[in-house]
């Protein structure tokens, strides 16, 4: 696992690859924009990342971590060298654990604004946008919602909206995920069919990721084979069946 260290001036630098003695860290959850906007591992290495639109959310994550007295952050766009297939595969299969072990998870909602006016006084002016956020429609964000101990939601202006506890009812009504799961009950307490329903309306950019993003939700492992298409989901179901009904 490679983290970003925040120095006293707010500048970011990579740690070495960490296997043991991982320091407390914050982790970012977000939705990806166009590829050309996102800051990659190489962008940060060569110093060109700050010019990209996606640097804003990385900078936000670092600033919020400092407010929470954390010196390290992890962001999927830039902390994985995606040109290294071995590293990418390890990251994907470790992702649930990395979110679970984070001290804080910051959800950056690029399509939710606290500056827009909303008619009526029955709800905060951002609540309608929160409920319809693209973040709730993506495959990878399911585990990012459920795995961490502490999940905090922020608007695109970096304003804190609440956390998984204070927004529990809104999240439940939006996702259909039971209150018990949102409160941290073991996912094994919920049937395979129920967990599949949580993911049914979520989508991923690559077809294979519809399966790979659920590995942690079901506590199973399958090798990653990009290019196999929908067969990845068949292999996922086979792995789940084998875990439920071992030979």
Alpha carbon 220 to its chain centroid, in Å, reads 18
Q: Give which of 31, 29, 49, 47 is closest to 39, Cα–Cα.
A: 49
**Distance between the two ends of the chain, CA-based, in angstroms?**
34
Q: Identify whether residues 131 and 221 lie together within a single domain.
A: no
pLDDT above 50: residue 124 = yes
Q: Identify whether residues 55 and 166 lie together within a single domain.
A: yes
For the chain, what is the mean pLDDT? 95
Helix (H) or strand (E) holding 211: helix 209-212
b/e 75-92 (16+ beta carbons within 10 angstroms → b): bbbbbbbeeeeeeeeebb
Number of separate domains in the chain: 2
Q: Identify whether residues 165 and 245 lie together within a single domain.
A: no
pLDDT above 60: residue 122 = no
| Contacts for 91 with CB less than 8 Å, ≥ 6 apart | 76, 80, 98
**% of the chain residues with pLDDT over 70:** 96
- What's residue 19's pLDDT? 87
- What's residue 118's pLDDT? 54
**% of the chain residues with pLDDT over 90:** 91
- What's residue 121's pLDDT? 46
Residue 196 lies in a domain: no
Residue 145 lies in a domain: yes
- What's residue 5's pLDDT? 98
Cα 27 to Cα 61, 96, 201, 223, 230: the distances in Å are 8, 12, 25, 25, 30
pLDDT above 80: residue 246 = no
pLDDT one-digit tens code per residue, 55-106: 999 999 999 999 999 999 999 999 999 999 999 999 999 999 999 999 999 9
Model's pTM, two decimal places?
0.94
pLDDT one-digit tens code per residue, 154-166: 999 999 999 999 9
What angle (nearest 5°) sits at the alpha carbon of residue 143, between those of residues 139 and 145? 105
Helix (H) or strand (E) holding 174: helix 168-175
Domain finish residue from 140, 156, 185: 185
Q: Identify whether residues 17 and 91 lie together within a single domain.
A: yes
Q: Identify whether residues 142 and 111 lie together within a single domain.
A: yes
């Amino acid at each position: 696992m490679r983290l970003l260290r925040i120095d006293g001036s707010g500048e970011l630098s990579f740690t070495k690859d960490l296997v043991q003695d991982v320091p407390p860290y914050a982790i970012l959850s977000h939705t990806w924009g166009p590829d050309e906007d996102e800051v990659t591992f190489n962008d940060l290495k060569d110093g060109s990342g700050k010019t990209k639109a996606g640097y804003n959310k990385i900078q936000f994550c670092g600033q919020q971590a400092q407010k929470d007295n954390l010196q390290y952050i992890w962001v999927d766009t830039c902390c994985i060298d995606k040109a290294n297939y071995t590293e990418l595969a390890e990251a994907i299969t470790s992702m649930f654990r990395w979110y679970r072990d984070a001290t804080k998870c910051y959800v950056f909602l690029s399509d939710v604004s606290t500056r827009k006016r909303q008619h009526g006084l029955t709800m905060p002016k951002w609540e309608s946008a929160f409920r319809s956020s693209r973040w709730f429609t993506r495959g990878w964000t399911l585990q990012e919602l459920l795995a961490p101990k502490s999940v905090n939601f922020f608007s695109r202006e970096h304003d804190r909206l609440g956390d998984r506890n204070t927004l529990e009812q809104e999240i439940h009504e939006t996702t259909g995920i039971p209150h018990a799961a949102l409160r941290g009950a073991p996912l094994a307490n919920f049937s395979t069919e129920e967990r599949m329903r949580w993911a049914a309306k979520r989508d991923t950019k690559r077809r294979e990721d519809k399966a790979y993003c659920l590995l942690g939700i079901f506590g199973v492992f399958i090798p990653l084979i990009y290019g196999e298409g929908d067969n990845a989901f068949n292999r996922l179901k086979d792995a789940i069946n084998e875990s439920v009904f071992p030979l």
